[in-house]
Amino acid sequence: MRNIFILIIIVAVTGCCRDSSKLPELQAGIVRNYIETFPVILKRNTEKDFRETNIKYYDSEKKLRKAFSRNEVDIAVLPTESILDKPKNKAKILTCINNTGVAFASIDSIRSINDLKNKKIAVIDYHNLVNILNFTDKKYNLNSEIIIFSNRYAASGAIKNKKADVIFDVLPEISAREKEGKHLFWLRETEPYVSTCQILGNESSYKIKKALTDLFLAQVYENVCDINSHPYLSYEALGKAYNLRSGYDKIVLRNTSYIYGLKPEIIKFDQEAIELISGKKTDLQDYLYKE
């Protein structure tokens, strides 16, 4: 009897190992220095369906697009602005929301918005950062000189070489600069900073579809957190999900934009909408992949 019991355990363990080894690998591509939290979120939400999730970094969007068209990666993450149309090969495009903060950093005595008047501000061409900075400049009559750089390395160089007085960036990047002795202060009027990205996913595999669905839910729901308490965090995320289902008119969305400093209107959500976004409904895949 003891031998039979041991045999059953061995068979069970072996079976689990085999099942795990049969799981496919997921190849995901992302542009270097873009959406720092993406690899963590992706791996956390795909570990059950994939033996391993490999993140490949590319130096440019062009190289990542080419890799996706050659089926070198299953998922490609690109800024919204870079998506003009669908690739030639069949793919599904999903939109994710990423909420963070924005801030200024400076080595000198710039410690408030008013100190920015007539100053040179370095900013990178990254999502809505330039638009937010332009809005801030007009709102506070700063009359500042906005210098746009293609990457953070060049922007940091401008600060070190005294070609710019202050740098404007997303909070995670700015916070890292505190170690360099740069003073940090928040721009509360534009907090939170809402950015969007597009995910290209090859539809040849059900597993890829599920990975995309899980990732979409994770990005939206983790950032929305509390739908009832934080409508300014959720209006765009819910709006994206709303567009995935035709005839779904129970969500009342007002045409406001908190990221440009406008006060958000009160947004009402019915229980079905909240369940849809929170992942409690299992049929979201049908909405995501309904042509």
**DSSP, residue by residue, 53-83:** EEEEEESSHHHHHHHHHTTS-SEEEEEGGG-
Q: List, in order, residues 6 or more apart from 271 with CB less than 8 Å away.
A: none
Q: What is the pLDDT along the chain (291 residues), one digit of tens a residue?
A: 555 544 444 444 444 444 556 677 888 888 776 655 567 667 766 777 778 888 898 888 788 888 888 888 888 876 654 433 444 444 444 444 444 556 677 766 777 778 889 999 998 876 567 767 777 787 788 899 999 988 878 888 888 888 988 888 776 666 666 666 566 665 554 444 444 555 666 555 555 655 555 555 444 444 443 333 343 344 444 444 444 333 323 333 322 222 222 233 323 333 444 444 444 443 444 433 343
Q: Which tokens go with 80?
A: 């919204």
- CATH number assigned to the domain with residue range 24-99+193-288, chosen from the 4 options 1.20.58.220, 3.40.190.10, 3.30.450.40, 3.40.50.300: 3.40.190.10
β pairing state of 193-202 and 75-79:
antiparallel
In 10 A of CB 289, how many CB atoms? 15
Give dist(CA 291, CA 286) in Å, integer. Answer: 9
Domain ranges of the chain: 24-99+193-288, 102-190
CATH topology of domain 102-190: D-Maltodextrin-Binding Protein; domain 2 (3.40.190)
Name the pairing type of β-strands 102-106 and 183-186: antiparallel
Cβ 197 vs Cβ 78: under 8 Å: yes
User: pTM surpassing 0.75?
Assistant: no
Equal CATH topology for 24-99+193-288 and 102-190: yes
CA pair distance 127, 37, nearest whole angstrom = 16
